[in-house]
Chain A
Amino acid sequence: MNGKEIKRAVDISARTGSILLRSGADITRVEDTLNHMMRSFGVKKYDIFTITNGIFLSASADDAPEGMGDYTRICEVPKNSSDLGKIDLVNTLSRDIEAGKCDMDGAEKRLEEIENSKKYNVFVSLGAAAVASGAFSYLFGGSFVDALLAALIGFSYYILFIQLDKTKLSKLLTNGICGCLLALLSVACFRLIPGVNLDKVIIGAIMPLIPGVAFVNSVRDIAAGDYISGTIRMIDAIVTASGIAIGVGVTILVFTRLSVI
């Protein structure tokens, strides 16, 4: 492989890795995928180092003398979200590359498609979050009225959450504001409709905010020995959960002091 091809292989791998990290993949998956890709592209001498918010890749041409002709890329991945669909698409791509069904040109085209792949319609996502909230409220012991209210509240605050998630606001604040809003709406329902269990409505409605992806990935990273990445994600999960707790807590504190609940 000459220097130009090496550069291209590293660039494609770096792009793949950053898509995976941005979508919330665990470190072992990212490193495995990049290893498969580099080997399938025919790069023999390379090194990969990945943490939750960055990828370091370096490779050298076969005929280059020791310490010469290296090509290195550093990719920063500032923000993670959870888009498990993209992880699945990249997984399929890496399988195709390994099976020899896809070369570098094909890979670049497929990556372009994956980056532009559509999420579900906003209303479908909102509806899904609402239905999940309602179902959780029931599972945790709420009545059907509680479940219905949790679904309505889940729908209304999730609109705000999707908007806030796009901005650069800190996770603590985003989740705090959403927690505050959902508690506010729940207290309103509690006052207006008799027989509503305030706790069951709130518990159902907070479930879409729970940092499941961050927590599960953190544990899997730590289990795989990637302690730095696992710690970063664990802090992320704790900050998110604290944000929810602070938002809900402060609202309830205010209303308790006002003797409304």
Chain B
Amino acid sequence: MDLQTIALNVIMSLVATAGFSIAFNIPKRHIFFCSLLGVVSWIVYILLRPSVGEVAATFFGTCAIVLMSRILAVVRKCPVAVLLIPGIITLAPGSAIYYTAYYFVTNDTQSAGRYGFLTLKLALAIVLGIIVVTAIPMPHVKKLINRIKSEHNGAGDLR
């Protein structure tokens, strides 16, 4: 993948996630960070996709964004959902849902089945990514950030 493609992908995923942040009514002060997480998950996805396939790439993209949003939520003292949801949309299996419906109505049962199964696998990859990273206990991060920001009251939630 050349540099220009990557640069265009970065810009487009940034714009897409920022658009979603506004559609979800996220306050202005969080939008930049939401977009940044969207870019990270998308870049992880497209860089890994050629070597490990799209399901595994989706899994790792999800892991990256869940991990980063948990850490950023502590730093920025906001709910994890605010940072996580706009960014994870870039990994949503929108195209797989479309192709499933398309082949279903055009009577191409084999392709419909293949894409339906792919949709399921992509959804499961996202599920696994969220569950695996949510299960990691992060008391050290919380303590570390507490120490750094000791002048403030309490750290954020690590969920």
- A180 vs chain B, min Cβ distance (A): 12
Question: How far apart are the CA atoms of A212 and B85 in the complex, in Å?
Answer: 7
Contact of A135 among B13, B102, B104 (CB under 8 A): B13
Binds B, one of A44-52, A102-110, A202-210: A202-210
* Chain B residues within 8 Å of A212, by CB: 20, 85-86, 88-89, 92
B26-A139 in contact (CB<8A)? no
Contact of A206 among B78, B94, B135 (CB under 8 A): B94
Count, chain A residues at interface, CB 8 A: 62
CB-contacts of A128-143 with B (<8 A): 128-136, 138-140
Nearest residue (CB) in B for A248 is B101
* Chain A residues within 8 Å of B22, by CB: 120, 124-125, 128
Which of A120, A128, A222, A223 has the most C-beta atoms of chain B within 10 angstroms of its own C-beta? A128
B105-A88 in contact (CB<8A)? no
* Chain A residues within 8 Å of B123, by CB: 215
CB-contacts of B68-111 with A (<8 A): 77-79, 81-82, 84-86, 88-90, 92, 94-95, 97-102, 104-106
B19-A135 in contact (CB<8A)? yes
> Is residue A91 contacting chain B, with contact meaning CB distance below 8 A?
yes
> Is residue B139 contacting chain A, with contact meaning CB distance below 8 A?
no
Question: How far apart are the CA atoms of A82 and B135 in the complex, in Å?
Answer: 25
A25-B98 in contact (CB<8A)? no
Contact of B82 among A88, A120, A128 (CB under 8 A): A88
Count, chain B residues at interface, CB 8 A: 53
Contact of A95 among B19, B77, B100 (CB under 8 A): B77
A207-B94 in contact given A88-B79, A99-B154, A128-B19 (Cβ < 8 Å): yes
Which of B15, B22, B127 has the most C-beta atoms of chain A within 10 angstroms of its own C-beta? B22
* Chain B residues within 8 Å of A133, by CB: 19
A-B contact count (CB 8 A): 178
Nearest residue (CB) in B for A147 is B12
B30-A203 in contact (CB<8A)? no
A135-B16 in contact (CB<8A)? yes
> Is residue B117 contacting chain A, with contact meaning CB distance below 8 A?
no
A29-B81 in contact given A120-B25, A249-B101 (Cβ < 8 Å): yes
Question: How far apart are the CA atoms of A99 and B79 in the complex, in Å?
Answer: 17
Apart from A84-B25, A128-B18, A222-B131: 12 A-B pairs, beta carbons within 8 A: A29-B159, A83-B24, A95-B77, A98-B154, A99-B154, A129-B23, A139-B16, A203-B98, A206-B94, A220-B134, A250-B105, A252-B105
Nearest 10 CB-CB pairings of A with B: A132-B19, A128-B22, A135-B16, A249-B101, A253-B105, A245-B101, A85-B25, A128-B19, A131-B19, A135-B12
Binding site for A on B (CB under 8 A): 8-9, 12-13, 15-27, 30, 42, 77-79, 81-82, 84-86, 88-90, 92, 94-95, 97-102, 104-106, 123, 126-127, 130-131, 134-135, 153-154, 157, 159
Binding site for B on A (CB under 8 A): 24-26, 28-29, 32, 82-89, 91-92, 95, 98-99, 119-120, 124-125, 128-136, 138-140, 199, 202-203, 206-208, 210, 212-213, 215-217, 219-220, 222-224, 241, 244-246, 248-250, 252-253, 256
